[in-house]
Amino acid sequence: MAIKEETQSTGRSFTKESYARSHVGFAWLRVSCGLIVIFSHSFWLLDPMHPPLLLGVGVGEYALLAVFAMSGYQILDSWERDPSWWRFSARRLLRILPPEAVVLTITVFVIGPLFTTLSLGAYFGAGLTWHYLSNVIPFWLQGPLPGTFADNPHHESVNPSLWTLPMELLGYGCILVLGLAIAFGLHKLLFPLLLAGLLVTQGVYDATLGAFDSGGQIGVTPMVFLVKFLIAFTAGAVLHAYRHKISLRPLYAVVLAATWLLIHVVFMSDSAGIPGPAASGDDSIFRLVTLDKWLMTLALSYGVIVLGTHWPKRLESGAKWVYGSYGLYLWGAPLQQTFIALGITNGWVLLIVSAPAAYLFGQLSWRLVETPTQKWRRYLKARQLQ
């Protein structure tokens, strides 16, 4: 007999045989988002002032917001399966840190020496070289290595992809804090309240900030970006927390996306190029800008969760080839920087070369680093859920 699975979440009854398991759908989407970031970086790393845009939004931004929404949904699921603060924290660190540590080590001891303009003595004698290894603690990220990729168009960072890791860890912290609060008797309404607070904060930033970094920062992460991506993360968490009350239907996802698209195309065409609040005294424009951002993030978050939970069953058999998205993401930018240093100056050529290379390194990371370190979880002795 088929077992019913989360029948309330889609607004209709379905069985496990109807769709692929949700973690498989999310794995496919994550690797797709990683490749979209590779596409975006193929042009941005060659021309940092002109990133590829789609409807006025950076192509890579769509992918990253989708990843954060999926993270919020899946990480809250992990917490609810075993609400132990120390096991939760240990699992998250085992997931994030080992692959990052390997990337940092190879970057410092292989990529750096090969592509620095300094002598090896000067390179290894520089304090910044050894300090780069401290990026394993993402809140104090260091971008460059001494002399490495100095002639590349984007030379301020060897691996610009690392900048999202502090926001990811802060999202985990939100799940941990709110999960503990709920465990001690507070209502899970805390998640919608957090989402509402983040939306309001983004609106305040849109109305008052003239520069992206004037809202302060945590470590090296500007608060403006942190709020933007935590909105997607928290939206994913809300969708999981209320999965038995919020219907996840493809039709609703299409309607939400169409609503945002209508507002964005029809009403934002004249205001999309506004450089900052100081450019106009019309508050209604900034309310519209904020509404546009809200709808885009929420529609994208809802849509990617719907897609992940409605993934075609026939693609489940290929899941073993899509579990390397994190490694793909970590390795993509340094590989692209390497290809640029070797002489590639065309974005499409860079994409054709770097996408399969990043995918290969992602698979190696999954099989040689992530899978072995994930096995350490058995020492955490998580309680078995019925």
Tens digits of per-residue pLDDT, 173-202? 999 999 999 988 888 899 999 999 999 988
Q: Specify if 10 maps to a domain.
A: no
Distance CA 338, CA 115 (A): 8
Q: How confident is the model at residue 386 (pLDDT cuts 50, 70, 90)?
A: very low
Buried b (16+ CB within 10 A) or exposed e, 204-221: ebbeebeeeeebeeeeeb
For 63, the 3-state DSSP assignment is: helix
- State percent of the chain over pLDDT 70: 87
pTM, full prediction: 0.89
Q: Specify if 58 maps to a domain.
A: yes
Q: Specify if 356 maps to a domain.
A: yes
Distance CA 162, CA 276 (A): 27
Q: Specify if 5 maps to a domain.
A: no
Q: Specify if 9 maps to a domain.
A: no
Range of the domain at 92: 22-46+54-378
Q: Specify if 305 maps to a domain.
A: yes
Q: Which of 188, 307, 303 is nearest to 241 (CA)?
A: 188
- Give the pLDDT confidence of 14-71 residue by residue, as tens digits: 445 688 888 899 999 999 999 999 999 999 999 998 889 888 888 999 999 999 999 9
Strand partners, 57: 54
Distance CA 10, CA 251 (A): 11
Asked if residues 123 and 113 have their Cβ atoms less than 8 Å apart, the reply is yes
Check pLDDT > 90 for residue 285. no
Question: Which two tokens mark 23?
Answer: 């973690």
